[in-house]
Amino acid sequence: MSSYQHPGIVFTDRYFTVPLDHSDPGGEQIEIFGREAVASGRTGEELPWLVYLEGGPGFGARRFIGAEAWLGRAVREFRVLLLDQRGTGLSTPANRQTLPLRGGPREQADYLAHFRSDAIVRDCELIRPQLTGGEPWTVLGQSFGGFCAVRYLSAAPEGLSTVLITGGLPSLDAHADDVYRAAYPRIERKVAAHYARYPQDVERAREITAHLAEHRPESAGHRLTPEGFQSLGIMLGGGNGSHQLHYLLENAFVRTPLGTELSDTFQEAVRAATSFAGHPLYALMHEAIYGQGGRSTGWSAERVRAEFPQFDAAEALKGDGPVLFTGESIHPWHFEVDPALRPLRETAELLAARADWAPLYDTERLAANQVPVAAAVYHDDMYVDTEHALRTAASIRGLRTWVTNEYEHDGLRAGGPRVLDRLLALVRDEA
């Protein structure tokens, strides 16, 4: 362990060893990293623990600079563990460089089948007694971290004192097709709102799409395509995303001796925004988080998109309508255009075809829940369907919801301490 001081906080780096396959505890082991955070001056105190589960899948816990955002509020009363879920951050990595150590695509897919929320919860339950002495702890789950929290309530509620969820109540029984069938209309509404705010972006997006369709440029090995450009719509799920997208688009073209071309500035910004080099598990495992019921996901987002022809960029260019951006969805072409994913295409195909995913949620146990739970449901959330979230909320005994359109999906980050304050007040019957 190593400790270091930030403004208002002492961080301590911790490493834990857990089984790759929890059904074989004596088998292969992997490493899990967590960063402990405690308020300066309170390092020697007995404080209750809060474990933070990041969104994703595939993202390590946020790297905080001191007591910023919600963390400053949390350390007023908790000792916080910022957990890098398996395969992310400083935990044993899973990416194009490391996965070939497993063998070929089949071995890689079998390995990654152990990287869903059920395994993450088992990791937490091995780590918890090492830190708390066996006492239950509070879980704060953001987005996919909330999915993990609901799995936790299903599988090991005895390890929980309180559960706080932000933008992360999953459907308990929906197939991935149902998730995306609900998602595309929400995305279309977000795009319409963006174009209403920035009407000049309608023509600009059409010009960029037409240029990409004709030229298909590359930036650092990343092929820029109309579909990849459309995927910038994922930005619209954040509070400032519409403005950020507008500023990106306004820098698209530059005059050169050879005529008008896409600027280096724009191409690099698009590459950085759409590359999965820093979080390949997001692409590999995104649809697998919905895998249940003996059915494969089968590239669900790609198949369901065909039911919404208004998202077809080529067809949009034939007429005078807007090019619609897409959002939080993964497609086979991601594994063709992104050099961080290209070597993993066959592995992704095997995961998409896999049908033996274990059930993730125990509806009977959730209906009998005794753990205090509060959830922020963002009414205009582009990533998580409000109807699905509220149906799940009603299925978890005692869960209290805070439904708000004040924030987008990034409310926990953007709202500073206010979101955490509100959820703590709800579980303590103070609101």
Residue 3 annotated to the active site: no
* pLDDT class of 95 with cuts at 50, 70, 90: very high
Q: Whole domain around residue 226: which residue ranges? A: 176-353
Q: Which residues pair with 4 in a beta bridge?
A: 11
Residue 242 annotated to the active site: no
Distance CA 296, CA 337 (A): 24
Q: Show which of 353, 385, 406 is a domain's final residue.
A: 353
Distance CA 385, CA 389 (A): 6
Within this chain, do residues 39 and 100 fall inside the same structural domain, yes or no? yes
Taking residues 89-117, report their average pLDDT: 98
Within this chain, do residues 295 and 227 fall inside the same structural domain, yes or no? yes
Condensed to tens digits (0 to 9), the pLDDT of residues 365-381 reads 999 999 999 999 999 89
Give CA torsion, residues 168, 174, 176, 180, to 10 deg.
Answer: -70
Condensed to tens digits (0 to 9), the pLDDT of residues 183-224 reads 999 999 999 999 999 999 999 999 999 999 999 898 889 999
pLDDT score recorded for residue 353:
98
Q: Show which of 353, 385, 407 is a domain's final residue.
A: 353
For helices 200-215 and 241-249, give the axis angle rounded to 10 degrees. Answer: 60
* pLDDT class of 416 with cuts at 50, 70, 90: confident
Eight-class DSSP state of 383: S
* pLDDT class of 235 with cuts at 50, 70, 90: very high
Within this chain, do residues 243 and 334 fall inside the same structural domain, yes or no? yes
Within this chain, do residues 86 and 235 fall inside the same structural domain, yes or no? no
Condensed to tens digits (0 to 9), the pLDDT of residues 250-274 reads 999 999 998 899 999 999 999 999 9
The angle at the Cα of 93, spanning 287 to 7, to the nearest 5 degrees, equals: 105
Of the listed 2, 23, 24, 356, which one is catalytic?
356
pTM above 0.95, yes or no: yes
Within this chain, do residues 304 and 182 fall inside the same structural domain, yes or no? yes
* pLDDT class of 138 with cuts at 50, 70, 90: very high
Kindly give the residue spans of alpha helices, DSSP state H, lying in 338-377: 345-353, 363-367
Within this chain, do residues 370 and 402 fall inside the same structural domain, yes or no? yes
For the chain, what percentages of helix, strand and coil (3-state, to nearest 5) are there?
45, 20, 40
Q: Show which of 353, 370, 396 is a domain's final residue.
A: 353
Within this chain, do residues 243 and 347 fall inside the same structural domain, yes or no? yes
pLDDT score recorded for residue 378:
97
Domain count, the chain: 2
User: 71, 64 in Cβ contact below 8 A?
Assistant: yes
Of the listed 143, 154, 296, 300, which one is catalytic?
143
Of the listed 123, 395, 409, 410, which one is catalytic?
409
pLDDT score recorded for residue 328:
87
- Looking at residue 253, its amino acid is F
Condensed to tens digits (0 to 9), the pLDDT of residues 5-31 reads 999 999 999 999 999 999 999 999 999
Residue 1 has pLDDT above 90, yes or no: no
* pLDDT class of 119 with cuts at 50, 70, 90: very high
Within this chain, do residues 38 and 101 fall inside the same structural domain, yes or no? yes
Q: For residue 385, what is the domain's CATH number?
A: 3.40.50.1820
Within this chain, do residues 60 and 97 fall inside the same structural domain, yes or no? yes
Within this chain, do residues 35 and 158 fall inside the same structural domain, yes or no? yes
pLDDT score recorded for residue 293:
83
Q: Look over the chain and give the mean of its residue pLDDT values, rounded to a whole number.
A: 96
Within this chain, do residues 128 and 192 fall inside the same structural domain, yes or no? no
Within this chain, do residues 326 and 365 fall inside the same structural domain, yes or no? no
Question: What are φ and ψ of residue 239, in 5° steps?
Answer: -60, -35
Residue 421 annotated to the active site: no
Condensed to tens digits (0 to 9), the pLDDT of residues 145-166 reads 999 999 999 999 999 999 999 9
